[in-house]
Structures are given as C-alpha cells and as structure tokens.
Chain A
Amino acid sequence: MRKILSLTALVAGLSAGLVTASTARADIVVGFVTSLSGPGASIGIPYGRGIQAALEYKGEVNGEKIRLIQLDDGSDPSAATRAARKLIEEEKVDLLIGTATAPSTIAMMAVATELKVPMIAVSPVTGQPNPEDQWGISVPQPASLLVKVVADRMKRDGVKNVGYIGFSDAWGDLVYNGAKAAEAGEGIKVLTNERYARVDTSVTGQILKVLATRPDAVLIGGSGTQGALPLLALADRGFKGKTYGTVALVNPDFVRVGGKAAEGIQVSAGPVIVAEQLPDSHFAKKLALEFRAAYQKANNMPTTDGFSAYSFDGWKIFTTAAERALKTAKPGTAEFHKALRDEILNTRELAGVHAIYNFKAGAYHGVDERALVIVRLVNGAWTYEP
C-alpha cells in the first residue's frame, strides 16, 4: 500500500514539475532580500519600506503584473547567499534586489552571476566586474563621488587646508582615500588622517592633533550618531572653521546628539533628502514628491531617510529595462533573464530620485555629479545649498 502511495506521489510530483516547466509564466517575479534584523537592520528596514513604496508606485510592466517576494538575511552574508539561491532555484525569480550590508550584497552578486539572473544592488559594491559576465549593477553613489562633490564645494568656499578625522574602519578609509584623490584636482590639501572607533569614549587627542595643523575646515569620515563626536570635541575647543561630511551623517539621531555643535555642517547627499526645496527644474523634484506620496500610502508614515529611495530607484531601473526586455522574451525563461540584464546595462539618462543613471558593462556604478547636492544643517534641519 505504502509503495503504491509513494509511487502515486512521485508521478504527481513529476507531472506537476512538468506542468510548471512547460507553462510560460505571465507575471514577472522579483526576489528582494534585505536585513530586517541584526546590526544592518537600521538601514535594512528603510530599504524594505522603499521597495513597498516602489511596488505601490508601479505594480506592473506592459500589463504584466509584478510579484515581489521578500526575505530577511539577518545582516549575515551566508544567510543572504542562501536566500538568493532559494529565490532563484525555488521561486524562479527573474531579478534579485538586495541588500543592506556590503558583504551580503557582494555574496548575493556572486550567486546571481553563477545562476545567470540579473541583480540590482542597493548597497555600494566596490571593484570592477568582468564585462563579459556581468549580471549586476549598484544603485548608490560611490564614496569617491560623495567626497569629490564635497571637495568641489570646499574649493568654492575658499578652503585650502583640510583636517580629516574618520572612523577606523573601511568607511573611514573610503572617505580618506576619496579626499586624497580629490587633492590634486581641487587644489586642497588634506593635513591629517586621524581615526576613532565607534565605541571610543573621547576624541580629544585626535582633535588637538587636527587643530595643531591649523586647518581652514574639517572633514568628518564618520557615520550616523557617532559621527557627531568629533564635532562636539571641535566645539569644545572653540573651532570656528567650516565642517564637511557625507550623506552617512544624515540621520535624525546625528542631529539630536550633535545639537548646536553640528550646526552649519555641509554634506553631500542625494537630492531626494531635500526634495521639497529643490527648484522645479531639477530632475528629481517631481519624481521625489511622487515617491514620498507612494511611500506614505504604502507604509502609512512619512520618509525620513535616503535609503528607501535607493530601493525606489532600483525599481525604476528594473521596470524601465523590463519594458524593453518583454518585447523579446517571456518572463521565467533564461532568454528573459539575459534580455533583462542587457537592457539594465543599456540604461541611458534615466532620472531617478537620487541620480540620473547611465549603466554600461564593465562598471557597477552608473551615476555622476548630478546625483549629489550639498545640504547644510540649519536649525536642526537639512537645507538645500545650490
């Protein structure tokens, strides 16, 4: 009896498999991985909300419905790898989008390349892809660009000598290297390379060292709440010069902790941060306001961050490419995956809420200086500084 039962089950399973394989699917399936738990959650949760807003904004392409499957990777690269495999092999997704931390994103990119499914990364990916076998792109502005735009502003402000203090981690290195690279072109000079850890109790020593070189301005290579620590120490020592930073500082807790000491700092950030203040002619204004409305509708709360907007821009790149790819192939097939990849790498002058995107094989990033504006902290609010 048991034998017959298992045989029946086998036959049923086989035929079911055959049926799925033979029917071309009507809807496009997107696999989205983000960090809803673990240390990456403070970025991963906004990414998740951003993708919900994007789905609300555009839920179908050429009449084909888009089905979104979301998985949590717990900020763990091996969990991200498993999630990516599961999405491709079991759910047969046509596209991967993810995730909140850089190591997990790189791990997912490896799976996407191996199984030949296109991927849109919402975290910065460093390095250079092999143009013959590139299956992924990255949406955010790279650190070098963030710093270059700040350096341009320093030059305009007449700053010559810059003191640098940043985190003693990869982010601190990226910002410092960006500033060093900008030295020649912008005529500025980076005088110090002081570092501190997120859990340090004091930066007095580092700040004294920075001030001993008599800089016109100080560049902060920290992020989030603890990015305010050098600013507080500078204020204690009565520093009157200008301060600069990157979008990594834009966070409500940074403003709360920094208080008066953080006033006046200028950072480079995506235009969506100050959408309401942009001039009507700015490419991001109309779309950013539409994004805000969609976000409000999907999540029932206003946007406060720039991260959710990366998900939104990733979605915009995907849907635009899918419109063209659908003309040549049906979703769920290998031909469609290849067509979608080719069309994503063929994105030209596509306006998002963060940037105007131009992708080509051989590079992960596809943004230029138009992707960043300078904002200044005035009375606890970020203000557009054209």
Chain B
Amino acid sequence: MRPDDPTDLPPDDDVPAPDAAADATERARAKAFAELIDKVVAGRPPAAVPSEQQELLEVATALRASVRPVELGASRRSAIVESALAAAIDRRAGGHGRVSASLPVVPIGRAASRRGGRTPWLIAATTSLVAAAALTLWLRDRGAPHAAPPAPATAAAAPLPLELRSRPADPLVGAIPAERAGAALDRIDTIYADRLDGFRARTMSGGLR
C-alpha cells in the first residue's frame, strides 16, 4: 500500500513520548477517556462507550480488576445464577434461552416456538383473519393519512429489542478519529457483522415478517 493510502490503517499504538505536545484531537480524546475513567472509578461503568475508546477502557478496567478487590454482590450473583439456570432450562426444553444483561427476560421467540405442530387450518385461518383485518382497514382508510399497519396476531406483544432493529450506527462505531477518516471499509465490516447477528437472531426466533 502507498504511504498516503487513505484506506491504510494507522500504526497501532504509536504512543507519543510523555512530554510531547498534544494536538486538539488528542486532547479531546484524552478528555473523553478521562471522563469514562471517572465513571469506572466511581463504580458506574458507562453503558455505551465509543468503540475507539472501548478497548482502551477495557485495558484500564482489567488493570484495575487485577490489582484491586473486585466484588460481585450477593444479590447480583443470585440474579445472574437465576437467569443462567432459567436460560439453560429453557434451552434444554427447546426454547431459545437468550438472556441479556440489560433487557428483561421476555424472549421474542416464545410465540414462534409455540407455533410448531399447528394444523394447516389454524395457520390458514389465522393468516386469513389477519389479511381480512388488514384489508378492511385498508379499504376504510384508503385516501386517509397514512396509518401504521396492524400488528399480526401471531407476533410477540413486546417491541423488538434494540439489537434486532435497524438503527443508527453511531453507538457501534463511535467517534471517528481524524487518522481513521477514510477507514470506511472497517466500519462497514463492523456494521454488517453487527446487523448480521441481529438478522440471524430474528430469523431464529421466527420474528421476520
């Protein structure tokens, strides 16, 4: 690759000397990192971290975890154990057992997993009811301002979890440093991989319409 190829990755960890002058970009990044460390030290790890800071924050947290006492509180421990047992039992029973630290345990696939084994009449009847309802609404509202289509009867009541939705890529990608302004290839790879996980999860849970 040519030295000035904008698609080249910058040298990793090209760390300046301690007393070297810092430019505005580095100062801004350092300040953002310092604020993340403030939260970690205060025992309030940030929920969302710009991806360019993520690995560095993990290094700092890992360093602290190795030399300072770390506690997993009793109530937290019990909650995690309970959740793990529920997930394992659910998986053993043929469910999906997906558990998230941040989302309530309402598997979106539960409705889908109960669908197996129904008669074709039931499927046909349900589909027809849905279609009839949609057709009625369409005929009634034709020409009126656009309204959202009715939710199919077989879909789960809960809205889709965030990770299964089309959404801005900012939290995934984080702030883009100047030296990575042209690294669109890396970012599309990251976005694609992330959305592919979501797509597969939706596919497996039967949530795709």
Q: Do A and B come from one complex?
A: no
Residues of A within 8 A of B (CB): none
Q: Write the residues of chain B forming the contact surface with A, with a CB cutoff of 8 angstroms.
A: none
